[in-house]
Amino acid sequence: MSKNAISIGIIIGNRDFFPDSLVEKARIEIIEVFAKLTIKPILLETTDTKLGGVETYKDSQKCADLFKKHSNELAGVLVLLPNFGDERGVADTLKLANLNVPVLIQAYPDELSKMNVVNRRDSWCGKISVCNNLYQYGIKYSLTSQHVSFPTEAVFQKDLKDFVAVCRVVKGLKNVRIGAVGARPGAFNTVRYSEKILQRNGITVTTVDLSEILGKANKLTKDDTSVKQHLEKINAYASKGKTPNEAMIQIAKLDVVLNDYVEEYALDATAIQCWTSLQQNFGCNVCTTMSIMSENMLPSACEVDVTGTLSMYAMQLASGSPSALVDWNNNYAEDPNKCVLFHCGNWAKSFLPDIEISNAPILGTSVGIENTYGALDGRTPAMPLTYGRISTDDPKGIIKAYIGEGELTDDPLKTFGNRAVAQIGNLQGLMNHVCRNGFEHHVVMNASKTGSILEEALGNYMGWELYNHKA
């Protein structure tokens, strides 16, 4: 089993007047499925209870004790119903364990040729009873895409993989640490957020003044070993293009200090003040460092957009791939279902196969183009798209979000910076929702189809107000 394997607890429900062989076989099957999908199972041994199943209150106590012993590693629980099961046994186990993790309910199908006393399961019915009891107990749970399915079937294994992704998102968001570097741009009220609402949801924000970062960077020289090492890393990451050597040194100095900051405070993500103090006082853009961080699964958002980087982190957890913060930037000609996504240039390399270190022409008009080297240039090609945004709603005192799926296209687009064309069904309706509900102009994109995973994680388990856009 891989050291990085996620741990999922397993409750095997049983009722004594159903055949023992069904439970015995189910236990073997699910262990094999977990091994195939590199998931670590936490379940009772056959010596702990009858067949390793849960039926009585004492069984529930034993299973709950096992789960509590592994509480630091358990990300979720699978309820397996090879027969009707005992709804109280399942509910009591989860109540006693008090893990507050996602729960997936599986039930075996009956076969028409095996409806006799020896083989009959009645799991279809038992699943309803289990769900009813969990609802009564106030325990949140997830359902499989089909009411009943065999663990050996592809449809269930996809459900299980999606459930593991839900578990990653929920576990990650409840413990995430975000670094806010500097102050938001004075002109952008749009990226204001409530640190208190985030903290109440387990999300910690650690702040640092930009002057501290620049002060430390200014003390470094081109001859410092750390600067040389980071310069090599940056050159290996992207072509320097026409970027002057002096600017590359400045970029490397920033890279050293920001990475030290992430390590010192054990951060999972950052949101950075990227204009205009940086250009005026240090003479470069921080985009390259942010891109490298995001590519290495430490998402970094521009303009101190803390809830933007939280959105990046959530999508990263759901998909296992980097995310990017983008502007809902422009219409695409006269197509009502296409738009241009854009930013100066800090998207992860995964989105930019033709990546090159360049400058930021828009910023350059006010701070001098020579002070904006470090922005990346590149066009994102066609790929799958999941988009979305998490935001704090201070008037309501809640966290809210919207998500959806679409496509990134290869439609022609002649401009600079990081750019992409998105095709989204009923895009005009989505923009109406964004504007009516006071969401930011920033949105996050991820090269995946993980909308259902995010809906389950953010809406069901985190309990946030969520809109899933449909075409």
Which pLDDT tens digit goes with each residue over 198-249? 999 999 999 999 999 999 999 999 999 999 999 999 999 999 999 999 999 9
What value does the mean pLDDT take over residues 114-130? 89
Per-residue pLDDT at 113 exceeds 90: no
What the chain holds in terms of domains, given with CATH numbers, is 6-173 (3.40.50.10940), 177-468 (3.40.275.10)
Query: How distant, in Å, are the alpha carbons of 163, 204, 390 from that of 457?
Result: 9, 19, 12
What value does the mean pLDDT take over residues 145-165? 98
Per-residue pLDDT at 174 exceeds 70: yes
Q: What is the dihedral of CA 434, 435, 437, 442, to 10 degrees?
A: 50
Confidence band, pLDDT 50/70/90 cuts, at residue 187: confident
Short-list 281, 302, 299, 296, CA closest to 375: 302
- Amino acid at site 170: V
What value does the mean pLDDT take over residues 365-389? 97
Per-residue pLDDT at 3 exceeds 60: no
How far is it, in rounded angstroms, from Cα 409 to Cα 423? 7
| pLDDT the model gives residue 170 | 98
Cβ 117 vs Cβ 165: under 8 Å: no
Which pLDDT tens digit goes with each residue over 395-429? 999 999 999 999 999 999 999 999 999 999 999 99
| pLDDT the model gives residue 108 | 97
| pLDDT the model gives residue 212 | 97
Per-residue pLDDT at 446 exceeds 60: yes
Which pLDDT tens digit goes with each residue over 380-403? 999 999 999 999 999 999 999 999
| pLDDT the model gives residue 116 | 82
Cβ 455 vs Cβ 442: under 8 Å: no
Cβ 323 vs Cβ 310: under 8 Å: no
Q: Across all residues in the chain, what is the average pLDDT? A: 96
Short-list 100, 146, 101, 99, CA closest to 127: 146
What value does the mean pLDDT take over residues 266-277? 97
| pLDDT the model gives residue 21 | 84
Confidence band, pLDDT 50/70/90 cuts, at residue 117: confident
Q: pTM value?
A: 0.96
Which pLDDT tens digit goes with each residue over 84-106? 999 999 999 999 999 999 999 99
How far is it, in rounded angstroms, from Cα 15 to Cα 130? 13
Give one DSSP letter per residue of 136-178, joined into a string. HHT---EE-SSSS--TTSHHHHHHHHHHHHHHHHHHHHTS-EE
| pLDDT the model gives residue 186 | 83
Per-residue pLDDT at 66 exceeds 90: yes
Confidence band, pLDDT 50/70/90 cuts, at residue 129: very high
**378-396: string of b/e by CB count within 10 Å (b at 16+)?**
bbbeebebbbbbbbbbeee
Confidence band, pLDDT 50/70/90 cuts, at residue 112: confident
Per-residue pLDDT at 326 exceeds 80: yes
Residue 108, token pair as written in the block:
């075996």
Q: Percent of the chain, pLDDT > 90?
A: 94
Per-residue pLDDT at 2 exceeds 80: no
| pLDDT the model gives residue 1 | 56
Please state whether the peptide bond connecting residue 380 to the residue before it is cis, i.e. omega within 30 degrees of 0.
Answer: no
